[in-house]
Chain A
Amino acid sequence: MSVLISKEKKVKNKEFHPNILCFCCNWCSYAGADLAGVSRFQYPSTIRIVRVMCSGRVDPSFILEAFKDGIDGVIVTGCHIGDCHYLKGNEFARDRFERFQKTLKLFNLDKRFRLEWVSASEGKRFAEIITEFTNQIKELGPLRLI
């Protein structure tokens, strides 16, 4: 897995347009993204959404796969704790990614990954999170693997 170690190389290139993979759960955050659309909340065109039924479906291997391919950042979004359509899927996601974050830290990738809760009414929040995460990835610069 040594190939996954990211070299911290700050690119002061304003033109850098990161590629970010975003997982959304069908019931809350995907609906939140829809509401951002309906409400015309603008955010950077950096994310590509993959819809899953539940944040509990997102396998940490997907995140590794993405980084391996050179995707600059990954964000997993789900229902707020307590709101899960499947009762506890988001709690499992939380527990897994808390552990996974430590693994990512070893590869210096932890800042390129994030887990967030977005409800179906939080269109604005969705847009804000994406804007903010995009800025964070821009700060980090393009993913370079050694």
Chain B
Amino acid sequence: MEKIGAILVIGGGIAGIQTAIDLADSGYKVYLAESTTSIGGVMSQLDKTFPTNDCAICILAPKLVQTGRHENIDILINSSIEKIEGTPGNFNVDLTQRTLLLDHNKCTGCGLCAQECPIEAIDFFNEKLSNIAAISVKFPQAVPLVFSINKEKCIGCGICKGICKAKAIDYELQNELISLNVGAVVLAIGFDEYDPTPLTQFGYGKHLNVITSIEFERILSASGPHSGLIIRPSDGIIPKKIAFLHCIGSRDRKHRIEYCSSVCCMYTAKEAVIAKEHMNIIEPTIFTMDVRAYGKDFDKYIERAKDEYGVRYIRRRISSIKEIPESKDLKVYYETGNGKIIEEIFNLVVLSVGMQPNHKAKELARKLNIQLNEYGFCKTETFAPVETSRPGFYVCGAFAAPKDIPETVIEASAAAGCVNVLLSEARNKLVSKKELPVELDVSNQPPRIGVFICHCGINIGGVVNVPSVVEYVKTLPDVVYAEDNLYTCSADTQTNIKEKIEKNQLNRVIVASCTPRTHEPLFQATIREVGLNKYLFEMVNIRDQCSWVHMHEPEEATAKAKDLLRMSVAKASQLIPLQEQEITVINKGLIIGGGVSGMSAALNLASQGFEVFLIEKEEILGGFANKIYRTLENDDIQEYLKDLIKNIENNQLIQVFKKAKINSISGYIGNFTTNVTYGNNNKNVDLEHGIIIVATGAKEYQPKEYNYGKDQRIIPQTEFENILFTTDKVKTLNSIVMIQCVGSRNEEHPYCSRVCCSEAIKNALKAKEINPNIEIMILYRDIRTYGFKEKYYNLARENRVIFIRFDEKNPPELNIKNKNLKILINAQDLGELEINPDLIVLSTGLVAPIKENEDLAKMLKVPLNEDKFFLEAHVKLRPIDFATDGIYLCGCAHSPKDLRESIAQSNGAAAQAVKILSAEKIVTSGLVATVIEENCIGCGSCLEVCQFNAIELIKTERTFEDITMTIKKSHVNPALCKGCGTCGVQCPNSTIIIKHFGFEQINAMISALLVQD
């Protein structure tokens, strides 16, 4: 059956958004079905994100806008799936789009209706902490920005209908059944927060000052119910003492929630830190079992929370909470080490609720014939982390397992990567590409500026005297045409603008309306359609900067609008057409590292028909996976590895270079050249390729601790694993001690290696299986079996593996007396213990190969983090790419991770790479810097500030009469330049032009700020 180049993505949270963008950018049509009225998901509700404290909506909003205006993404809001039939590559989808009682194509999002609506409804976006109108938008940055009517609350008074200038409201609109034909389906339905009402001991829903972490998140938010002021529900007073309780609806077998929700430890630390940042008088206390800060740079965040912000951690699970009736304060009871019960009073208690399967998961799974796992999340396999049980259906994000945002984004790209493999033959079949007229040459024309001023219904016109602004603008120099529009952004106005441009021979256009952040691309596209270069456009924001912020001063607002327009006209007359660079792409990839990550990425690319060069420094492929036999879940790694290597070596499109060393890398996105020496005979070759994937992995820490290397009875986990899976030696042993965090979470390596807890438990279980009588003790600081791995922690305890916690300040000590091993440990709650094992197994961490990474980073011109792992472009939303375009990252080169996570990230890296490889040409922005060469003194100041390696000093020979000398000139590579403009300021000779934001343009605006007499 013919494969369809379209994909249905179900769920418009960050997972669905990322998959949709990745696929739409790779030549597919995407339908993004969202159950609510806006995309954005839970991330849009968050205040900040860990571990960088980035503002969530700041980093999410550009993605929302990008999705909303992508020509190959159709967002289907308020919709639910009815059924999907067919085979992989060709599915028929039926979905229902529920009516909003207004036409979302007509609604301009002006918000007039909500201002006039007399009925209040609960604001679910604010977690019911505030009210909104019965006709409302989900949140201010919603995409699409359309209002919807709360059917249950609406009294049908008709006020909104009467006031809506766009005539969007129609109470009679019915639900719509939509049929789609797609090649693949991606499930990204996310999760539900756990509702702690059943845990009556905490009194949620009964005690006013017991709230959930997501409610607290809204309280923290500047756009939340109290504008970021932290006040408690009972009396609106700032709570001085706040208690955070971990593991609410997680790690709770009594309530049949066995798994760990993976994110709560970190978001709690973040909420505590942010609360403290907001109001210094707040004293946060976190009650916890284990602190699971297992991700990249997480442990450092926890340490900062403790040391810099004074967040108090108490390792206790709280048994109950009582409310003090008069003050509504809360009494919290917990036990100390010596069995004493302590009672402490808090002003507010925040329950760190876990992630539950989406309440719609079961029904959807039944409808779509998808298997769920034992906890109700989507079932996946270790070696195929984003594939569901139904071929052609993929999954990403929290629907597969609880996870944080970066991992969600990684999986979202991975899902796109797998869809690419399935549908590559149907690529570019259903995407639309506009044919545009040839650009007019306006270079010799004097400026002829046209100005279009928007009333935005009455949003602008209700305050600003728009007609008087139009009359004023007509008097300004170079303005040959000006008019006002009810809605400048509406479809009919676009036609009108085009007509006016042609009729009046306009060569510069200004729109005065709302924000260029959302609307500039629309108008740029409009003027381009009649042959004007899109950079001959300026936008003035007289809504957000005039009518809405000076609502009660119409004269001032009007005067300001005139000033802003005068400044804009001054700039517009200085605008010049800018050219976007087209770069031809070499559609071959270079992958550095032949471990599981590198090989997975290579196979993904090759199965779409792209040639791949795979660089491996060793003589064999497989990397670290060669040392491990089974996963925690008991999957056979060696079997998988054997298949993977066979597939790589048999693939005609993959060229493997073993014993290879990279000597140099030059070029830029689409056009790299890499020099490699390889093989036993040190052959040398120049490889040309369009992208690079870094998959260099990590290595095992070589312990200096515990007499390692001097006593054969002290071995690392990998060696123990080898013994377990290849010998019977364990049968002869009586007792084993495993020591966790050897070479992790210390001064030298202040991060968690993420995999060691699981490795220890896996090996302990295997040892118990071989020799049930063996005594195993695991000495640990925190057991970090996040997600579904928690099950095996419980299983180990059931199998009488003994877990003993020690404090970082008091690590276990080793004594060897009369050849007997003796471990002394100061155990929490148990006091001093002495253990005499036959074997000591060290859970050694993963470390970055420092020298190799530093050398490679220099050649790639990409950064490393403090621990010498590669540093991605953005910790939260760009975990796979580097800031330098065309270079991607996966596996343990990014940070320690397990096989499942490495495989996901490598498919994600492949998906990012395919965006470039599948394009014949890529276009870069015209907003770049350029150097006026004759004035450049070659000082190199600009190089120092450029974060994108876009500038190089080019040596040229110049002859002055008899003397020839070498001089240096800066050159900006427009393919690499991001247009920030920092170099232009740094240049001591002011000889770098920042296009569109140059000296002439900005100075023209400044000079026009005051009315010239």
Contacts and interface: CB of A to CB of B under 8 A. Distances in A.
Contacts of B543: 37
B173 interface: no
Contacts of B927: 53
A122 B222 contact: yes
A69 interface: yes
Interface string A19-50: 10100001110110111111111110100111
Contact of A40 (B223, B545, B548, B556): B548
A123 B980 contact: no
A82 B52 contact: yes
Interface string B971-1013: 0000000111110111000100010010100110111011000
A49 to B, nearest CB: 6
Nearest to B558: A45
Given A45-B553, A119-B58, A121-B223, A96 B947 contact: no
B560 interface: yes
A82 B999 CA distance: 27
Contact of B62 (A27, A50, A56, A121): A27
Interface stretch (A7-15, A86-94, A107-115, A133-141): A86-94
B130 interface: no
B331 interface: no
Given A36-B549, A122-B222, A70 B517 contact: no
B728 interface: no
Contacts of B56: 121
Nearest to B62: A27
B227 interface: yes
B281 interface: no
Contact of B1010 (A40, A70, A125): A70
Contacts of A87: 883, 947
A57 B515 contact: no
A70 B1007 CA distance: 10
Nearest to A59: B985
A66 B945 CA distance: 25
A66 B1009 contact: yes
B551 A42 contact: yes
A38 to B, nearest CB: 4
Contact of B223 (A27, A65, A123): A123
Contacts of A61: 990, 999
A110 B252 CA distance: 59
Contacts of A121: 47, 55-58, 221-223
A88 B947 contact: yes
Given A40-B549, A41-B549, A65-B1003, A57 B994 contact: yes
A65 B550 CA distance: 27
A51 B540 CA distance: 10
Given A21-B1006, A35-B140, A42 B550 contact: yes
Nearest to B559: A45
B1006 A57 contact: no
Contacts of A57: 980-982, 984-985, 994, 997
B985 A58 contact: yes
Given A42-B550, A124-B228, A35 B223 contact: yes
Contacts of B195: none
Interface string B501-517: 00000000000000111
A59 to B, nearest CB: 5
Given A59-B985, A88-B947, A120 B61 contact: yes
A145 to B, nearest CB: 13
B574 interface: no
Contacts of A56: 945, 980-982, 985
Contact of A26 (B517, B1003, B1006): B517
Interface in B533-551: 541, 543-546, 548-551
A86 B980 CA distance: 7
Contacts of A45: 546, 549-550, 553, 556-557, 559-560
Contacts, number: 162
B719 interface: no
A119 B55 contact: yes
B516 A51 contact: yes
Which of B62, B546, B559, B1010 neighbours the largest number of chain A CB atoms within 10 Å of its CB? B1010
Given A19-B1009, A21-B1009, A38-B140, A50 B947 contact: no
B756 interface: no
Nearest to A70: B1010
A51 B393 CA distance: 44
A4 interface: no
Which of B223, B553, B980, B1006 neighbours the largest number of chain A CB atoms within 10 Å of its CB? B980
Nearest to B983: A56
A51 B996 CA distance: 11
B898 to A, nearest CB: 29
A83 B567 contact: no
A120 B518 CA distance: 14
A57 B1002 CA distance: 10
Nearest to A71: B1009
B58 A31 contact: yes
Nearest to A120: B58
A62 interface: yes
Interface in A57-79: 57-62, 65-66, 69-71
A127 B979 CA distance: 28
A42 B1009 CA distance: 21
A129 interface: no
Contact of A19 (B54, B57, B978, B1010): B1010
A37 B551 CA distance: 10
B978 A86 contact: yes
Interface string B943-981: 001011000000000000000000000000000001111
Contacts of B1007: 65, 69
B875 to A, nearest CB: 10
Contact of A33 (B140, B545, B947, B1002): B545
A83 B53 CA distance: 9
A130 B7 CA distance: 47
B997 A52 contact: yes
Contacts of A49: 541, 545, 564
Contacts of A21: 1006, 1009
A54 interface: yes
Nearest to B221: A121
Contact of B947 (A37, A43, A53, A86): A86
B548 A83 contact: no
B517 A31 contact: yes
A19 B559 CA distance: 12
A60 B1002 CA distance: 12
Nearest to A79: B58
Nearest to B1002: A62
A88 to B, nearest CB: 5
Interface string A92-103: 100010000000
Given A50-B1002, A124-B222, A125-B222, A38 B58 contact: no
Nearest to B566: A48
Interface of A: 19, 21, 26-28, 30-31, 33-43, 45, 48-54, 56-62, 65-66, 69-71, 82-83, 85-89, 92, 96, 119-125, 127
Interface of B: 47, 52-58, 61-62, 140, 221-223, 227-228, 515-517, 541, 543-546, 548-553, 556-557, 559-560, 563-564, 567, 883, 927, 945, 947-948, 978-982, 984-986, 990, 994, 997, 999, 1002-1003, 1005-1007, 1009-1010
29 contacts: A30-B515, A34-B517, A36-B544, A40-B551, A45-B556, A48-B564, A49-B564, A50-B1006, A52-B981, A53-B979, A56-B945, A57-B980, A59-B990, A59-B999, A62-B1002, A62-B1006, A65-B1003, A65-B1006, A66-B1006, A69-B1006, A69-B1010, A82-B54, A87-B947, A96-B985, A119-B58, A120-B58, A121-B223, A124-B227, A125-B222
Given A35-B140, A61-B999, 6 more contacts: A19-B1009, A40-B548, A53-B927, A56-B982, A57-B984, A88-B982
By Cβ-Cβ distance, the 6 closest A-B pairs, closest first, are A37-B544, A57-B981, A56-B982, A120-B58, A86-B980, A45-B556
